[in-house]
Amino acid sequence: MHENSSQVVRLEDYRPSDFLILQTRLTFRLAPDGATVRAELMFERRDGVEADTPLILDGDGLTLKRVELKGAGKMAYEASPDQLVLTGLPHEKHFQMLIETELDPDSNKALMGLYRSNGVYCTQCEPEGFRRITYFLDRPDILSTYHVRIEAPKATNPLLLSNGNRIANGTLDNSWHFAEWHDPHPKPSYLFALVAGDLGCLRDSFTTMSGREVELAIHVEHGKEKLGLYAMDALKRSMKWDEEEFGREYDLDIFNIVAVSDFNMGAMENKGLNIFNDKYVLADEATATDSDFANIEAIIAHEYFHNWTGNRITCRDWFQLCLKEGLTVYRDHEFCADQRSRGVKRISEVRALRALQFPEDQGPLAHPVRPRRYREINNFYTATIYEKGSEIVRMLRTILGAETFRAGMDLYFKRHDGQACTIEDFLKVFEDVSGRDLSQFSLWYNQSGTPNLALSESYAPGTLTLDIEQSISPTPAENHKRPMHIPLAFGLIGHDGKELDFLTAEGAVVENGLIHLQERHHRISLHGIKERPVLSLNRGFSAPVTLTIEQEPQDLIFLAGHDSDPFARWQAFHTLLSEALMAAYRLVLGGKQVEFQQDIVFLAGKIATDESLEPAYRALALTLPSETDIARDIGNDIDPDAIFNARNALAVQIAKANREAFSQTYAGLHDDAPFSPDADSAGRRALRNTMLGYLARLDDGLFLAQRHTKTATNMTDLIAGLGTLVHEYGATTQTQAALDDYAQRYATTPLALDKWFQVQATAPGPQALETISVLMKHPAFHIDNPNRVRALLGAFSTGNQTGFHRADGAAYAFFAQALLAIDKDNPQLSARLATAFRSWRALGPMRQEKARQALLVMVEASAVSVDLRDIVERTIG
Ligand code: ARG
Ligand code: ZN
């Protein structure tokens, strides 16, 4: 954020630090008028480093009160807010330094370092927040043990937490008190955490596989303890799962989770003290939707799993961020797949990857999963590093097989425990256990862009021949792409729906239902096939690629009804829908009447009523491609209004043609059983609400949506009803009444009001901009709270295509101003929101020009943060 962080950091410039910090003792005094931090650091000069080498410590906006060597020694120093340079140090290998800094947590609105959220002191140090607390070697390859003493007024801060185990506590003068914490596991500074405040607590315990008892605690606002029950349950299931699936046991006697209401991201895996955005902890049926419950389960698991993949084995430098994030996302995906329905989970993951990662990889912000350069590391907590990073781990398992993959993971934990590692270290364990050369595979980490596979098939009796060509379009700073190792899972299906056997001549390229594509072009012949097969491709989404293939609509319809692979089955129907929507889009642009093929329309009805399919699957199948999905399929010269109209026409036609089937399905899914957040119940609600979405487009739709909203007994149904009213019947008094009811009911529940903001922000059409500017003045809206901002401005810019991209460009201009306002306090948040412009070059020329003007307003504004500038400049290109 400050001058010194505006330089480009390059992977090739990595050098180990000249000094280590073996021990870190911190004393925090949290006074109402400011905090002081006393750091006692035990340094070690590395062997071979010249005795007169200066020690350069990182800072960010710090106020230095005192710095001195412990003992008799002398030295010289030069301090600025962003750096402390020490020279003339003692010649001994070890020396101790004392550094005192002064902080103002109350004015820290960047939510990095030590800040106060709703009266609770908390920290966020990843990636470079620790340097906002004290001068330090703030880099992940410096592992230190921490001893932390916290002193604070007792009345307002009865709770004093840090990492590890509590070793002392007691009272002090002036009704202050203290606690001391010791974390025996050496850790990088980004995993440091402190919490102080007055919170309620939900307690439980877990007995590990070796019989140790771990105390579990979730700290939340007083009175909200019960809202942590689901998170606690998810935590215990995560702990058990990691023991069973990866042999990983928890390594401290206590595990604390704290929920705070101002947080830039989802949560943070600080050792033994995870800090969460309260949105991902607090839930009950009245305030949280089924997807909130699912997110809580996934994020609780994610942060817990980091204890091994992230904390015990951390990253050497921030270029290796995917080492912990991609792997941990993979682990949380697998956990959720085991807890819920694997097929449904996989479809949801692919939808999210395509919605979030593909546009990144195909636009101006594309970067390799392991980047080679950055200006602001905070801008690299991306879908590419997280989600594509996870897909790479999944491909590794697909290529190596489950057993070899597990053996590799075991070796990884054994070989690298306690170290700060690289992607090379990670791949090496799999090379060692498998004897394979993974150098071509490593391109997945180093080459950006989404690979495309162009396929064609031809069948002569007995033999199917496939021609497959891989390519990647140029991405920023990468024009020439090398062929990758792409594992493409496939199957051949006969007319009775059964898998067909085949023989291969090529041998190695095809094995166990997998084609190993390693060349730019492959011709593959499959022999001994009894009849003309239908080809099922990229089963389970075995590789994160796009496919170009002409498949007969009849074949796709067949796959949509018969493929044994749930993902491929879903995909077949969605390929049909996408193609139909693209054709309809052209008709809308040409001012023509839109009419969809009857077979697709009726297939929707068949899917809705097919009792052999899980309700959650049916809901996903019947959720039409989103407007941004369609825009991606079209590619360029996008007109969001025409997309909206084409999609709407399809929804209406499906609803009209299937009124009977959908009404019956809707009615049949109603139940009076007590609420349960489990996957089956959630799936039933999802299907019922999907049916509502269609039925609401028919003539008595307003009545139905109103009744649905009024009779809802949980948040999932309530918000589905309200959303339908707002999006289909926005201008009616009935809708206004429902909105008012909701606002009144949840007046003191900010997380529930976020949904109210979001529903209105995503109401299609140009009038949404007016709604947004009115809602920004609502008393419950606070521009310095990231959850509020994301609910309103984030939802508007990414979830309202016709509103955000209104043709006059007014929304772009408004949004740019809002981002500049946010940027003053919270650059991470403004930079993140600015990525909404990343696909601007795909728009039609008029909108492109308006978007470019808004982007220019941001670069040309005075005092723009490095974070926002970095995103905007890369976006303009
Ligand atoms: N490591 C956290 C996670 O579990 C994300 C923290 C990132 N924080 C940030 N301010 N960039 O994914
Ligand atoms: Zn993570």
pLDDT score for 671? 85
Question: Has residue 876 got a pLDDT over 60?
Answer: yes
Question: Has residue 580 got a pLDDT over 60?
Answer: yes
Q: From its phi and psi, is residue 688 left (phi > 0), alpha (psi between -120 and 50) or beta?
A: alpha
Distance (angstroms) between ligand 2 centre and the Cα of 320 equals 13
Among protein residues, the one with the nearest Cα to ligand 1's atom 6 is 268
Residue of 265, 281, 380 best suited for mutating to test ligand 1, as the one with most atoms within 8 Å of CB: 265
pTM of the model: 0.98
Say if ligand 1 is within 6 A of residue 292 CB: no
332-354 per-position pLDDT tens digit: 999 999 999 999 999 999 999 99
Q: How large is the average pLDDT for residues 271-275?
A: 99
Confidence of residue 3 (pLDDT cuts 50, 70, 90): very low
Distance (angstroms) between ligand 1 centre and the Cα of 344 equals 27
Among protein residues, the one with the nearest Cα to ligand 1's atom 3 is 268
Q: H helices of 460-597, where?
A: 553-562, 566-589
Question: Has residue 6 got a pLDDT over 70?
Answer: no
219 beta partners? 201, 258
368-404 per-position pLDDT tens digit: 999 999 999 999 999 999 999 999 999 999 999 999 9
CA–CA separation, 781 and 779 (whole Å): 5
Ligand 1 atom showing the smallest separation from residue 377 Cα:
11
**Which sign does the torsion angle of CA 635, 641, 642, 647 carry?**
positive
pLDDT, mean over the chain: 97
Distance (angstroms) between ligand 2 centre and the Cα of 301 equals 10
Among protein residues, the one with the nearest Cα to ligand 1's atom 7 is 126
State the complex-level ipTM: 0.98
Among protein residues, the one with the nearest Cα to ligand 1's atom 11 is 378
Say if ligand 1 is within 6 A of residue 264 CB: yes
Among protein residues, the one with the nearest Cα to ligand 1's atom 4 is 268
**Domains defined for the chain, CATH in brackets:** 1-196 (2.60.40.1730), 314-446 (1.10.390.10), 454-543 (2.60.40.1840), 548-698 (1.25.50.10), 751-877 (1.25.50.10)
Say if ligand 1 is within 6 A of residue 192 CB: no
Residue carrying structure tokens 């062929």: 483
CA–CA separation, 735 and 513 (whole Å): 52
- Is-contact 849 358, C-beta < 8 A? no
Ligand 1 atom showing the smallest separation from residue 310 Cα:
1
Among 126, 303, 325, 627, which one carries the catalytic annotation? 303
Distance (angstroms) between ligand 2 centre and the Cα of 303 equals 6
Ligand 1 atom showing the smallest separation from residue 378 Cα:
11
Say if ligand 1 is within 6 A of residue 265 CB: yes
297 a catalytic residue: no
Helix (H, G, I), strand (E, B) or coil at 151: strand
Q: Rounded to the nearest 10 degrees, what angle do helices 615-622 and 679-695 cross at?
A: 40
Say if ligand 1 is within 6 A of residue 311 CB: no
The bound ligand whose nearest atom lies closest to the alpha carbon of 280 is 1
Say if ligand 1 is within 6 A of residue 376 CB: no
Q: H helices of 129-254, where?
A: 229-246
- Is-contact 464 493, C-beta < 8 A? no
Ligand 1 atom showing the smallest separation from residue 303 Cα:
4
Helix (H, G, I), strand (E, B) or coil at 156: coil
Say if ligand 1 is within 6 A of residue 438 CB: no
Q: How large is the average pLDDT for residues 245-271?
A: 98
Say if ligand 1 is within 6 A of residue 262 CB: no
CA–CA separation, 215 and 624 (whole Å): 45
Q: How far is CA 303 from the centre of its chain?
A: 12
Residue carrying structure tokens 């001068």: 135
The bound ligand whose nearest atom lies closest to the alpha carbon of 274 is 1
**Residue 786: closest CA among 278, 218, 131:** 278
Say if ligand 1 is within 6 A of residue 263 CB: no
Q: What percent of the chain has pLDDT over 90?
A: 97
467-526 per-position pLDDT tens digit: 999 999 999 999 999 999 999 999 999 999 999 999 987 655 898 899 999 999 999 999
293-315 per-position pLDDT tens digit: 999 999 999 999 999 999 999 99
Distance (angstroms) between ligand 1 centre and the Cα of 267 equals 6
How far CA 324 is from CA of 113, 313, 315, 318, 380, in Å, comes to: 21, 8, 7, 10, 13
CA–CA separation, 529 and 611 (whole Å): 32
List of E strands, 262-365: 267-268, 273-277, 314-315
Distance (angstroms) between ligand 2 centre and the Cα of 238 equals 15
pLDDT score for 1? 42
Say if ligand 1 is within 6 A of residue 385 CB: no
Instruction: Report angle CA 634, 636, 637 to the nearest 5 degrees.
Output: 110
pLDDT score for 303? 99
Distance (angstroms) between ligand 2 centre and the Cα of 384 equals 13
The bound ligand whose nearest atom lies closest to the alpha carbon of 323 is 2
178 beta partners? 151, 170
Distance (angstroms) between ligand 1 centre and the Cα of 270 equals 10
Say if ligand 1 is within 6 A of residue 377 CB: no
Say if ligand 1 is within 6 A of residue 303 CB: yes
